Amino acid sequence: MTREEESLLVLKVQNGDSASFEKLVLENQTKVYNLALRMLGNEEDAFDMSQEAFIKAYNSIGNFRGESRFSVWLYRLTTNVCLDFLRSEGRKSHGSLTYMSDDDDEKEIDIPDERFSPETIIQKKELRQAVNRGLMSLPKDYRIILLLREIEGLTYDEIAKALSIEEGTVKSRIFRARKKLCAILSADGNFSYNSSSNEAKEV
Amino acid sequence: MSDCKKYIESISSMMDGELTAEQESELRTHMEHCAECRKVYNAFKSISDSLSEDLIQPPETLSESIMSKIKLQNKSGYKKRFAFGRFTAVAACFALILFGASRSGLLSDSSKKANETAVAPREIEVRSVTGTCVPESGVSIQDDYGAVEKDAPAESKPASEHKDKSDEAVSEEGTVIQFGFTTQNMAILNGTKAQDIKKEPVFLFEAKEFSVYQGKYYAEENSTDKNTLLFNVSGEEDISAFSQLLAAIPENSIENKADDKKIIEESPKYTLLIPADKEKDEKAKDKIISIWYIKEEIWCVAQDACPPDKNSVAAAGVNNAEKILYRGEGIPDKFEELIKKVKEKNGIM
């Protein structure tokens, strides 16, 4: 969907056409859901919070002025909805890791990706699981910013706007988030990245 | 190879496409010779790939569920306001904010009673939303102000009775009308839990008149001379103009922060006084809505006109407000414009 198409849909919704909102939902739901899923760590909460984020978006779409892409605005709402939820639940970031259950493993095997050898699939899958687990151990700020970048594909400028922080902070926070995640993964033994290489050795 | 520290953060930026071509080529040259940095790059890259390749499809029921909730919500009549574009909104919502306050049942001491009162006239309320405020004919209320169609003839009442009666009012600290973009957010917090209110939208009321004061409004006796009355608003046109404007303020359930409290301790820019409709309910209390312009936003807090302590002033009670009534960006200019128009109309300059 181009930005123009998106703006047109938003305009239609602002003018009372709720059917157009459905198109926006279909276009954005995967990313919103994945953002919520990785923020919250389980499918049920991710479903509820995605729903809440979209309804919130619908109800306040009059407030959206097209300064950013609609999706950026939507991710910001999603992030806030998830944070509120985490706060209200008083949840620990280590809480539930159920979404990468054994059932999911089976599902993935059902849909093999032929680009990769079976061996690679297993490695990739293991890595993905490890990354997802590691993500839940990251501090919330790090988790959010990494997700906005990696899943939603926002630019630093967009992230800065979405989180109301400086662009320089975005840059260093993403870097630190990656570093931290690497450290968690290598501590788990899932990663060849050596935590000691955080501090680059001088040769 | 002493530059790794300098380069390592750039690796992260490079993956995100945030380096200039020059910076990128410098980094790549460095990486050709530096195994450590390549290792970091590979590690970051595999995390990145792993995250971005691994999008899970949401359950099919997600979009269905969202859309059915929205339809349900629209059925209640609310979302029709979208038909009026951004800065216009249905006077319905408005009637709630400005005039909801004037109806006592909702703000009476017993929150239970408040709920009953609120729920009972619901049908009528909805009808008045769609009939009164949302012209089915498609006439827009988007123009400057006052184009709302209404079936009922305008009724204006002399503004006379509120002054002496404020003493009767038992004030309630922290009574705040919380108003938002949706019905669910419009609520009167009066000892009732916010989540209870969300389930049962309250209101609609009709204001016949209200007064606009410059600055703070002093409710106590013998303070009439302290108050600067700008004008009374009684015509339907003017009332709807205010209503549209205030109703257009979106999303608003912002918790008061300590700093906010400091700000709203200061005298407001304007105060709207909505006299109680004693005919409908003799226990009704006058209400005020204090309005501040904070940076680019408008902030409003609604409360009883009568201060908790007779020695204090009305606006002091604002500190106890649990929530800011609403804040909206870009509204102050429009509000100011409206004030000016009404002034001109009334021959006040």
CATH of the domain at A134: 1.10.1740.10
Q: Is residue A5's pLDDT more than 50?
A: yes
Which chain A residue's Cα is nearest to B3? Answer: A202
Q: Is residue A44's pLDDT more than 80?
A: yes
Least confident of A20-34, A45-59, B200-214, B328-342: B200-214
Looking at per-residue pLDDT, the higher value among B281 and B93 belongs to B281
Question: Tens of pLDDT along B161-179?
Answer: 333 333 333 333 333 333 3
Which chain B residue's Cα is nearest to A77? Answer: B251
Residue B240: its pLDDT value, please? 65
Looking at per-residue pLDDT, the higher value among B191 and B49 belongs to B49
> Is B224 in contact with B116 (CB distance < 8 Å)?
no
Domain that holds residue A13: 3-198
Q: Is residue A197's pLDDT more than 80?
A: no
Cα gap B46→B48, rounded to integer Å = 5
Is B63 in CB contact (< 8 Å) with chain A?
A: yes
Rg (C-alpha) for chain A, rounded Å, is: 19
User: B210 pairs with which residues across the strands?
Assistant: B233
A93: in domain: yes
B328 contacts: CB under 8 Å, gap ≥ 6: B248, B249, B250, B252, B297, B298
> Is B292 in contact with B302 (CB distance < 8 Å)?
no
Contact B17 A155 (CB under 8 A): yes
Residue A40, judged by CB atoms within 10 A of its CB (0-12, 13-18, 19+), counts as buried
Q: Which residues of B touch A174 (CB under 8 A)?
A: 12, 16
Looking at per-residue pLDDT, the higher value among B72 and A179 belongs to A179
A17: in domain: yes
Q: Determine the Cα angle at B197 with ends B193 and B199, to 5°.
A: 125
> Is B147 in contact with B138 (CB distance < 8 Å)?
no
| DSSP three-state, residue B290 | strand
The DSSP bridge pattern shows strands B210-214 and B270-274 to be antiparallel
Q: Which residues of B touch A53 (CB under 8 A)?
A: none
Minimal CA–CA distance to B81: which of B94, B66, B68, B98? B94
Q: Which residues of A touch B334 (CB under 8 A)?
A: none
Under the banding of pLDDT at 50, 70 and 90, the label for residue A21 is: very high
Written as six digits, the tokens of A155 are: 């630019």
- State the CB neighbour count (10 A cutoff) for residue A57: 26
Under the banding of pLDDT at 50, 70 and 90, the label for residue A72 is: confident
A203: in domain: no
C-alpha separations of B295 from A73, A163, B298, B328, B341 in Å = 22, 20, 8, 11, 22
Under the banding of pLDDT at 50, 70 and 90, the label for residue A50 is: very high
Q: Is residue A31's pLDDT more than 70?
A: yes
Which residue type, as a one-letter code, is found at position B162? H
Find which of A24-33, B171-180, B201-210, B306-315 is predicted with most confidence, using mean pLDDT. A24-33
Across chain A, what does the average pLDDT equal?
77
| Structural domains in chain A (count) | 1
A145: in domain: yes
Minimal C-alpha gap between A7 and chain B (Å): 14
A151: in domain: yes
